[in-house]
Amino acid sequence: MLDPNAPIFEVSEEIRNSIIEVYLRDASQSIGEIEFGTIQKNHEAVRKASHKLKGASATMGATEMTDICRNMENPLMQNLEMLKKLKTAFETLKKSLA
């Protein structure tokens, strides 16, 4: 679910739909990078991908995704449980945007 006060709602519906399409594609790629980094215990790769996804999610108003990514920037929070939460939040978000 998106925050109705997010910047994404300040643009036309046509532009918003294009932004959503790009966000979903890029978020999926970032989640793949986070997953690979988590499995490899590459904390810097996870931090970078989480930071990127956090910013995009904040712009979209995807608060749950933003919060999870903020947590995953911290090496102590980079684990399979947080990865599962991130993937679940993304699937929920995709369904809400469909």
Cβ atoms within 10 Å, residue 58: 18
Q: pTM for this one? A: 0.91
Q: How many domains does the chain have?
A: 1
Q: Judge whether 37 lies within some domain.
A: yes
Q: Judge whether 1 lies within some domain.
A: no
Longest CA span, the chain: 41
User: How sure is the predictor about 2, in pLDDT bands with cuts at 50, 70 and 90?
Assistant: confident
pLDDT single digits (tens) 13-48: 999 999 999 999 999 999 999 999 999 999 999 999
pLDDT at res. 1: 74
Is the per-residue pLDDT at 96 higher than 80?
yes
* Cα–Cα distance measured from residue 16 to residue 67, given in angstroms and rounded to the nearest whole number: 22
pLDDT at res. 98: 80
Structural domain boundaries, residue 80: 7-97
